[in-house]
Amino acid sequence: MKRTAGKASKWGEGVKITPLGPQLQRAFRYAAEKHDGQGRKSTAVPYLSHLMAVASLVLEAGGDEDMAIAALLHDVVEDCGGMARLREIRRLFGARVAKIVEDCTDSFVEPKPEWLVRKQSYLEAVKRADDETRLVSASDKLHNVRTILADFRNHGDAIWVRFNGKKEGTLWYYRALSDEYARTPNRITRELEIAVRELERLCGGEANSAGEVERLEHGQKRAGASQGTVPSQSSKLSRSASVPRPAASFRTKVGS
**Ramachandran region of residue 183, left (φ > 0), alpha (ψ -120 to 50) or beta?**
alpha
Scanning 61-111, the segments in alpha helix (DSSP H) are 65-73, 76-80, 82-93, 95-103
Axis crossing angle, helix 115-128 with helix 166-181, rounded to the nearest 10: 10
DSSP one-letter code for 43: S
Just list the catalytic residues. Answer: 78-79
- Please name which of 74, 71, 73, 76 lies closest in space to residue 58, comparing C-alpha atoms: 71
**Residue type at 54?**
V
Q: Residue 4: phi, psi to the nearest 5?
A: -100, 130
Angle CA(239)–CA(241)–CA(246) in degrees, nearest 5?
A: 125
The total of other beta-carbon atoms located within 10 Å of residue 152's CB is 18
- DSSP track, 202-222: HTTS-S-SHHHHHHHHHHHHH
